A = this chain, B = another copy of it.
Amino acid sequence: MADFLTVLTTTDTPEKAEALARGAVTARLAACAQISQPVTSVYRWQGEIETASEWQVLFKTTTARYAELEAHLREAHDYETPEIIATPVTQGSEGYLAWVVEETTIG
């Protein structure tokens, strides 16, 4: 399994997005996070296709920290079932990946 991941969640205000990003970086569950401009989400809700404005938050972390990051996001997020999905980083610049490890290591 890849040692590094990008982890994506979405929320419905930029303030919530920044709070999720700050919380995870402060707790060293992610090295950094990037908050997108508003995206248009398209999904089915009670049988109807709906659209809503959401903000994507893309975390960079290690596989070792994933379980705790997910638990943190589930706890901190105000959706009942927030989107939390991880994608493997299979290659990356050595210096950057070392920084990700350093930033997500406690102590």
Q: How far is the CB of A106 from chain B (nearest CB, A)?
A: 12
Nearest chain B residue, comparing its CB with the CB of A55: B40
A4 contacts B96, C-beta separation under 8 Å: no
Q: How far is the CB of A31 from chain B (nearest CB, A)?
A: 7
Number of interface residues of A (CB under 8 A): 57
Partner of A74, one of B51, B54, B93: B93
A40-78: CB near B (< 8 Å → 1, else 0) gives 111110000101001010001001001000100110000
CB neighbours (8 Å) of A41 from chain B are 32-35
In order of increasing CB-CB distance, the 6 nearest A-B pairs are A32-B43, A21-B42, A86-B91, A84-B93, A85-B92, A35-B40
